[in-house]
Amino acid sequence: MEDSPWWRDAVVYEIYVRSFADASGDGVGDLAGIRSRLPYLAALGVDAIWLTPFYPSPMADGGYDVADYRDVDPLFGSLADFDALVADAHAHGLRLMVDIVPNHSSSAHPWFQKALAAPRGSEERDRYMFRDVSDDARQEPNNWVSVFGGPAWTQVADGQWYLHLFAPEQPDFNWRNPEVRQEFLDILRFWLDRGIDGFRIDVAMGLIKAPGLPDTDPGFGAKSPIWSRPEVHDIYRDWRRVLDSYPGVRAAVGEVWTDSAEDLALYVRPDELHQSFNFAWLEAPWSATAFRKVIDETLRAVPAPTWVLSNHDVVRHTTRYGEGAPDPSVGLARGHAALLAMLALPGSAYLYQGEELGLPEVKNLPPEARQDPIFFRSKGEVLGRDGCRVPIPWSGTAPPYGFGTGGSWLPQPVEWAGLTAERQAADPSSTLAFYRRALAARRSLRETLPDAMAWLEAPGDALFFSRGRLICAINCGTDPVRLPPHEQVLISSGLVDGQDLPPDTAAWLLTVE
Ligand code: GLC
């Protein structure tokens, strides 16, 4: 594939591997399943796919607890399946990115097992974050809490504690240890040698903790002893050198949660990561003012922005946008409109599997089916992320809807019979047909659109912006708004009545050059 900086304006499709397509018939998605669906992804019109972790893992956190960074879990296939997937993806014109999980390993990782067997103060323990409690008045070494709820520390047999910012089965590495750094440079090379196009870096802002591990307040702010410490950037400078040493363009996108676009921008300095996820839009409510603020702040701070509406960690955006609305079904219309706005902006867009089918969050999963550690650690008070991870309905009229032949690891709702890819592919008014049209329209304009966008004056709770000949209009208000002058409506997410744009709708207009 050519040497273009493809990541700059790529549409990347996130595959949550466990839930995409199951070729082996065990109810869990796998690499061979993904391979069989590459024609679907190519026809959808995305540029790249990102695979969530498929490495050997006890699956305490759906595979984000990695026991071996250089292999494929038998649940998902083999290294040979992986190589075949890379080759096939490239043959379909799709780039392939893999998830790398550097903040923590699985507690089943051989290094952690050795650390447990070794005494305090040993080299083996120094690869992780083991500490003693010096102050009799407190139980744990400091007040840090796990992102999944509960303390971030677990005590081992000899009385020491180890840090886990996530589940106890996910011990944090000590990134001040040169051996850890070297190991990950080798892991990057292992996958780059197999021909991948890039990495998505899990919890990219968490690797370095402040010396002395002082107590903290919640939040991602500049003073946090946990998140976005200045020294974390040295790690990505090392990684960038490795990426740049390979032929072609190998890119890295960081999962970076910050309080500000300025902090986010630090990760994408020229010698660091190519991209970092920009979660600000995903956190914004359905409101033109909120969207405009996010877009302005992002474009001001970040030279190569990314846009994300959904992923495997958050409530699906079609459901979010319906919350609090008099009729929650409006969420789907708003989701379509937001897609058009996202695809019209400069930069790259990340889609999450199933959003092209308009899948809603599944809120009523039975407790015995749930697997997210957040659900268990909160004793069921927080439902967690299983509701956006329900396997994809491909075809047929009954579960597992062509996902595989052996059921599905999370139950699929009966209402999904109407949402299968097969059914939607045959229906021009479906969400799938709309996504295909929108992605095709973006491709058709790709060569001609300038990088910069400009705001146009818009009435009510609407936004109008232009990029060269293209004007994108989105109406977040409750009344129709008059569209700006244009020659042609290229695509719209709902019926555009004459010159008016209805509520919860977006349109792409072309003007004369
Ligand atoms: C990231 C992943 C999430 C995982 C966590 C711990 O936030 O996206 O799914 O649980 O890291 O690895």
CA 103 / ligand 1 centre spacing (Å): 10
pLDDT at 1: 58
The confidence band for 324, taking pLDDT boundaries of 50, 70 and 90, is: confident
Please name the residue whose Cα sits nearest to atom 6 of ligand 1.
64
Q: Got the DSSP string for 437-463?
A: HHHHHHHHHTTT--S--EEE---TTEE
- Tell me if 313 CB under 6 Å of ligand 1: yes
Residue 329 pLDDT > 90: no
CA 180 / ligand 1 centre spacing (Å): 20
Nearest atom in ligand 1 to the alpha carbon of residue 103 is 12
Residues that are catalytic: 202, 255
pLDDT at 328: 83
DSSP state of 21: -
CA 59 / ligand 1 centre spacing (Å): 12
The confidence band for 135, taking pLDDT boundaries of 50, 70 and 90, is: confident
Q: Which residue has the tokens 């799709």?
A: 94
Please name the residue whose Cα sits nearest to atom 4 of ligand 1.
64
Contact present, 18 and 28 (Cβ < 8 Å):
yes
Question: What's the mean pLDDT in 277-288?
Answer: 94
- Tell me if 101 CB under 6 Å of ligand 1: yes
Q: Residue 215 half-sphere exposure, CB side, CA atoms within 13 Å?
A: 5
The confidence band for 223, taking pLDDT boundaries of 50, 70 and 90, is: confident
Contacts for 161 with CB less than 8 Å, ≥ 6 apart: 130, 131, 132, 133, 140, 141, 153, 154, 155
Question: What's the mean pLDDT in 461-487?
Answer: 96
pLDDT at 325: 87
Which two structure tokens, joined as six digits, stand for 88?
Answer: 């096939």
- Tell me if 61 CB under 6 Å of ligand 1: yes
pLDDT, one tens digit per residue, over 86-99 is 999 999 999 999 99
Q: Which residue has the tokens 């893992």?
A: 57
CA 134 / ligand 1 centre spacing (Å): 31
Contact present, 469 and 511 (Cβ < 8 Å):
yes
- Tell me if 361 CB under 6 Å of ligand 1: no
What's the N-to-C CA distance of the chain in angstroms? 33
For ligand 1, pick from 59, 203, 277 the residue to mutate: most ligand atoms within 8 Å of CB.
203
Counted residue by residue, the chain has a size of 513
Which two structure tokens, joined as six digits, stand for 351?
Answer: 């889609």
Nearest atom in ligand 1 to the alpha carbon of residue 64 is 12
Residue 2 pLDDT > 70: no
Residue 215 pLDDT > 70: yes
The confidence band for 267, taking pLDDT boundaries of 50, 70 and 90, is: very high
pLDDT, one tens digit per residue, over 105-117 is 999 999 999 999 9
Residue 487 pLDDT > 70: yes
pTM of the model: 0.97
% of the chain surpassing 90 pLDDT:
92
What is the average pLDDT value for the chain, to the nearest integer? 96
CA 202 / ligand 1 centre spacing (Å): 6
pLDDT, one tens digit per residue, over 394-406 is 999 999 999 999 9
- Tell me if 81 CB under 6 Å of ligand 1: no
CA 64 / ligand 1 centre spacing (Å): 6
Out of 134-143, 255-264, 425-434, 436-445, which region has the weakest mean confidence (pLDDT)?
Answer: 134-143
Question: What's the mean pLDDT in 118-144?
Answer: 93
- Tell me if 238 CB under 6 Å of ligand 1: no
**What Rg value do the Cα atoms of the chain yield, rounded?**
23
Nearest atom in ligand 1 to the alpha carbon of residue 312 is 9
% of the chain surpassing 70 pLDDT:
99
Question: What's the mean pLDDT in 68-86?
Answer: 98
Question: What's the mean pLDDT in 68-95?
Answer: 98
Closest CA to 82 of 185, 183, 189, 195: 195
Please name the residue whose Cα sits nearest to atom 3 of ligand 1.
313
- Tell me if 374 CB under 6 Å of ligand 1: no
Which two structure tokens, joined as six digits, stand for 371?
Answer: 């697997």
Cα–chain center distance at 18: 15
- Tell me if 277 CB under 6 Å of ligand 1: no
For ligand 1, pick from 104, 202, 227, 312 the residue to mutate: most ligand atoms within 8 Å of CB.
202
- Tell me if 439 CB under 6 Å of ligand 1: no
- Tell me if 14 CB under 6 Å of ligand 1: no
For ligand 1, pick from 64, 107, 220, 282 the residue to mutate: most ligand atoms within 8 Å of CB.
64
CA 164 / ligand 1 centre spacing (Å): 12
- Tell me if 99 CB under 6 Å of ligand 1: no
CA 481 / ligand 1 centre spacing (Å): 40
Question: What's the mean pLDDT in 352-365?
Answer: 97
Residue 498 pLDDT > 80: no
Task: Determine the Cα–Cα distance for residues 402 and 87; give it in Å rounded to an integer.
Answer: 24
Helix and strand tally (H, E) in the chain? 15, 18
